Amino acid sequence: MTTQNKPPQHSPGLRLAVDLGPIVIFFGVYFLSDIFMATGIYMVVAVAALSYAYFREGRVAPMPIVTTVIVVVFGGLAIGLGNKQFIFMKPTIINLLFAAILTGGLLTGRPFMKLLFQEAFDLTPEGWSKLTLRWIGFFCVLALVNEIVWRNFSEAFWVSFKLFGVLPLSILFTLAQMPFLLKHQNPDDDTEETDPAASEPAKARAEATTDTEPGNGAES
């Protein structure tokens, strides 16, 4: 028996910890201190979580890497210059960057959603393209909403919105894609009915059986 070497899959628990752990710590520190302290600790925890995930599994998904780099750059600017606007603008930049990356992949015939989620889903080419368009739209909406919130509301409201607004919206949007994912799953290949080459051996066995039945063979 031969086995195929498949790339190791990311542990769901570890992936969840890398994605949500730093965010949860950010909010906890913010409510105990201030946004600069929360941002500094968030930067450290994000880098530590990413490093741990890499040494644990030998690889890290591209999106957390991009997010962490932007967090470090904009967080460092905010702390170094004492300007909170870099912190407020960070989600806008991240969401627009993700939308741009997905758009570029779609235009060049390389749907990055497939590269990210092909371990979990097996969609048709049309399905991957439409799913990519949906996420592009969602990222653009998040960027727009972030700009509206931080420019028109208080700092505390913006922080609360990130926890109690953006996170639930992201979860709901992801869950809302399930019917679409099921609809655009690649159909299972029915080799016996749809593959002529695979049906030939069955046909040959049927003819051989017929030839050896009483009254059909040479001995009769």
pLDDT at 126 over 60: yes
State pLDDT tens for residues 178-210. 998 888 888 764 444 445 454 455 455 545 444
Query: Any idea what DSSP says for residue 218?
Result: T
State pLDDT tens for residues 47-81. 988 888 788 777 777 788 888 899 999 999 999 99
At a CB cut-off of 8 Å and minimum separation 6, what does 77 contact?
83, 86
CA atoms within 13 A on the CB side of 58: 3
pLDDT, residue 89, reads: 95
| % helix, strand, coil for the chain, step of 5 | 75, 0, 20
Question: If you count them, how many residues does the chain have?
Answer: 220
pLDDT, residue 121, reads: 77
pLDDT, residue 64, reads: 80
Question: Model confidence at 22, in pLDDT bands (50, 70, 90)?
Answer: confident
Predicted TM-score (pTM) of this structure? 0.73
> Quick one: angle between helices 85-107 and 62-81, nearest 10?
150
Q: Round to whole Å and give the CA distance between 54 and 10.
A: 10
Tokens at 58, concatenated: 């030998």
Q: Which residue has the higher pLDDT, 125 or 20?
A: 125
pLDDT, residue 213, reads: 47
State pLDDT tens for residues 158-178. 999 988 899 899 989 999 999
Contact present, 79 and 39 (Cβ < 8 Å) = yes
Q: Round to whole Å and give the CA distance between 21 and 45.
A: 8
> Quick one: angle between helices 35-57 and 62-81, nearest 10?
150
Question: Model confidence at 11, in pLDDT bands (50, 70, 90)?
Answer: low
Buried b / exposed e across 9-33, counting CB within 10 Å, b at 16+? ebeeeebeebeebbbebbbebbeee
